[in-house]
Amino acid sequence: MSLVQPRPISAPDLQLWLQGDAPSPQVVDVREAQELMMAKFPNDVLHLPLSASSEWIETLQSRLAPDQPVVVLCHAGVRSHHFGLWLLDQAWGLEVWNLEGGIDAWSTQVDDTVPRY
């Protein structure tokens, strides 16, 4: 198990960050395509479905800005947490955050127009 963990962030805190003056994080959504169709995150995301990792893993480092924090999200925060651990294990020097509760928490705590599933 990795000693370094993704930093947890709540849905309301992420909303404040995205709407604030500080530079916005890069949001990485690891859900499957059908999940995005059901409940889209309202900001731009880098969509990296975990089931298709063989398609993007070789180019991932070049797609992530080293000086921009990364917030990972999924449905409930579990898959994104594991992906965040993997990102940190790559030792690319990224600042990695995990959206606690995932898109479901976003729906219940920030924007109830985002469907729950």
54 CB-contact burial (10 Å; exposed 0-12 / middle 13-18 / buried 19+): exposed
Count of domains observed in the chain:
1
Is 69 domain-assigned?
yes
Tens of pLDDT along 11-24?
Answer: 999 999 999 998 89
Is 32 domain-assigned?
yes
Is 1 domain-assigned?
no
The mean pLDDT of 39-54, rounded to a whole number, is 96
Q: Check pLDDT > 70 for residue 111.
A: yes
The Cα 78–Cα 113 span in angstroms is 23
pLDDT at residue 12, rounded to an integer: 98
- Domain residues for the domain of 95 are 7-109
93: left (phi over 0), alpha (psi -120 to 50) or beta: left
The mean pLDDT of 88-113, rounded to a whole number, is 97
- At which residue do the structure tokens 């995990």 appear? 98
pTM of the model: 0.94
Is 88 domain-assigned?
yes
Q: Check pLDDT > 80 for residue 2.
A: no
pLDDT at residue 3, rounded to an integer: 74
What is the CATH classification number for the domain harbouring 83? Answer: 3.40.250.10
Query: Catalytic amino acids?
Result: 74
